[in-house]
Structure 1
Amino acid sequence: MTARRALIVRGGWFGHEPVDTTEFMRKFLEKQGFSVDVHESPAVYADADYMAGVDLIVQAVTKSTIEKAELDGLRAAVAAGTGFAGWHGGIIDSYRNSADYMQLVGGQFAAHPGCDPADRTGEQSDNYRPHTIEITDLGRNDPIMAGVDDFVIDTEQYWVLSDPYMEVLATTTQPVREWDAWHEPVTTPSVWKRYWGQGRVFVSTSGHHLDVLAADPVRTITERGLLWAARH
């Protein structure tokens, strides 16, 4: 039996640890029987012949750009059945220059409201805050979230702009605090999946650093999401 092929595309902002996080998930995919290739830019997306043989794309690219031929190749591959999956800014803060990319994934990072401005030091930890990931009714009946209850993590909480064409498996709520500009709590998707042509897209917003990604239940949710997205 021919092994399924996974493609890891990584790069962009180093603060999201694209190498460490993808190497961690690479080991998981190899244990699941995937042959895994790694590319350090989205240029490979423009190679139609290669992409036709990819069963799963795992992307970890933050704050970067994508060329038209690369994006067209990605969208065509997913529509033809290649799975597309990722976590945190590596998938929903990848290519701010492309509305077509945002349409594919269904959500875009907007903010991660952090601590009191008076306490900020300019470090990434300014944006770490304990918050709850709440499993939706849909999520409680989905295999990706099986056995997972609401949980609290202390890391970046993503405020996400999203569209309604998704199956939301978990949400998170930004509260109102005295220094915030908004006037009521804001609930946005935290874990979702969607179908694109013959392909599947999976997103989890948790995974700022390897320590977050590697800890359960984030690890379990992400691993299940990758397998769900892969070509069936």
Structure 2
Amino acid sequence: MINCIIVDDEPLAATLLENHISKIDRLKLTGKAENALEAYKLLQHQSVDLMFLDIHMPHLNGIDFLKSLSQKPKTIFTTAYREFAIEGFELEAVDYLLKPITFERFFKSVERVLRNIDDLKDDFIILKTEGMHRKLSLADIIYIESQGNDIKITLSTTENFISKSKITDLELLLATKGFIRIHRSFIINTAFVTAFNNNEIHLGAYEIPVGRSYKQEFDHFISTFSKKRLL
């Protein structure tokens, strides 16, 4: 499921989007906001994969709001104004939909999001766990923890697996797949990062320490992360 929110101060436009969302099984509407401040509260208290964001709103417009976010969910702009399209795409928005939004145009935009997510889900590793060789989707792995001669894999599906593998082997294997090692005992999936400071990084409810000897790798990740998402 893809958790999404609607940020729009026009009730009719928001209702139309809600109706479109209800027709796609993989989309789950988890919240609605009438302005950027309400949207910010939603983003602070829940995991949001996709945001349908209006541009003209009171207090803070959609473009400035997206610029202000340190971690941006995938965003589809929804607006009646064409002139902001270029700036919207410069913010790496998935799409820019002009109101009134037909379901056909909406579906084409959402299908792009689904395809990108499915591309990642197609990538996997196979680990021996509990006497079985298991295929684990990289998109489901939140973090990997070294536990002596074993590793523990924590998944977004709430399952955990123990495997007799070396964390150094997985570090090399996953280095180009959106994973980084930030501690001698932890490798994280950067797609799940929700907050961080100099000492720890949050993956939703999980708090992972940053090891001193991995500070350089961590700083490089934060720098790259910020260049992509902080404007």
| TM-score, normalised by the number of residues in structure 1 | 0.38
Return the structure number with greater relative CO, CA threshold 8 A, min gap 6.
1
Name whichever structure is richer in helix by fraction: 2
| TM-score, normalised by the number of residues in structure 2 | 0.38
